[in-house]
A and B are shown apart, each in its own frame.
Chain A
Amino acid sequence: MSERTLGFGSKLSKIKPAEETDEPVVPDHKIDEVGDRAGFVSREPVQRMTRRKPAEPSANLNIRPPITTFNRFLQFCEANRMSYPEALKELMDRAKV
């Protein structure tokens, strides 16, 4: 069939992509009103947003440092408004570990 063209060519060439038109554009919400009345409603669920960023899996790290080390670490976290995991990462980054 790929060789058969049935004279579509001339007819097909009459069909052109649409040109810019100045016909009035009806906004979507107007169309949605009509759709809602006829029972054509939104099927896409409203997604709940979350502020938590997707993260890699985590693991527990339980340590008992001397109290002076503990206090220094806490002061660092407070001063930089970081969580413990963020502070640990930051310190290791700085130390190039």
Chain B
Amino acid sequence: MPVIAVANPKGGAGKSTTTLVLATTLAAQGATVTILDCDRNQPIVNWRGGGSKNPVQVDGEVTESNITSKLDAYRKERQFVFVDLEGTASRMMSRALARAQLVIIPIQASPTDAELAAKAVNLIQEEEELLEKKIPFRILFTRTSPQIPTRLEKKILAQLKGGDVPHFTNHLNERAAYKSVFYDQLDLNELDASEVNGLPQARENALRLAEELIDLVVT
């Protein structure tokens, strides 16, 4: 069950951060992981250009016409294939979702993020009808405070629960470390705890989320 698409048509929802944190955490635990970086800004390709020894493999040469064949090839070689999609409603996204065994939809606790996430969910449901199979998806809250949930967060969460929209129980909290991985071009293990605030908590958060993901994939 290896293709995991990370999608939200809204930009800045935390797609690349989620992808990189989960993929490097799984790779550090010994899994074979490939990331297809479909974002034109190529944030993960740029990250790979740094000095990290994390074994995750990154492919940034993805177009609408080759994404299907690339996914079909990688999924036979690797335990996990992450697809980091661009923050627009694109044909690339609809093609990737059709090949995905799990779709992670990151959202910040904001109405615009949630509305555009609903657009992705709508596409998933239409594709399910066409493909006559389930495409499991999960909403993931990103950049949340680790201590106190905001009122808006609670309201959005209540709406998700009311609409039976599945979501991760773990959030990807707001942590300086998740920005530092991009700045220093390292993974969470390689960052220096004396330079980055809250690094142990960030590592713990990443592990918990990865664990939840593995449980989802195994079952």
Which A residues are closer than 8 A to B by beta carbons?
1-2, 4-6, 8-9, 11-12, 14-20, 23, 26, 28, 30-32, 34-44
B214–A12 touching, CB < 8 Å: yes
Given A16-B79, A18-B75, A18-B76, check contact A42 B1 (CB 8 Å).
no
Interface size of B in residues (CB-CB distance below 8 Å): 48
Which B residues are closer than 8 A to A by beta carbons?
1-3, 9, 26, 28-32, 63-64, 68, 75-80, 86, 88-95, 98, 119, 122-123, 126-127, 130-131, 133, 188-189, 200, 203, 207, 210-211, 214-215, 217-218
Chain A at the B interface: SS class = loop
A41–B90 touching, CB < 8 Å: yes
B218–A11 touching, CB < 8 Å: yes
A2, A15, A20, A23: the one within 8 Å of B217 (CB): A15
B91–A40 touching, CB < 8 Å: yes
Closest 3 CB pairs of A and B: A35-B94, A40-B94, A18-B75
Q: Which residues of A contact B94 (CB under 8 A)?
A: 31-32, 34-35, 38, 40
Query: Would you mind naming 30 contact pairs between A and B with Cβ atoms under 8 Å apart?
Result: A1-B200, A2-B28, A4-B207, A6-B211, A8-B211, A9-B29, A12-B29, A14-B218, A15-B214, A17-B2, A17-B75, A18-B2, A18-B3, A19-B76, A20-B76, A31-B98, A31-B127, A31-B130, A34-B123, A34-B126, A34-B127, A35-B93, A35-B95, A35-B123, A38-B119, A39-B119, A40-B9, A43-B86, A43-B92, A44-B64
Complex: A62 Cα to B116 Cα, angstroms? 63
Give the number of residue pairs across the A-B interface with Cβ within 8 Å.
111
A17–B78 touching, CB < 8 Å: yes
Q: Which residues of A contact B26 (CB under 8 A)?
A: 12
Q: Which residues of B contact A5 (CB under 8 A)?
A: 29
Q: Which residues of B contact A30 (CB under 8 A)?
A: 130
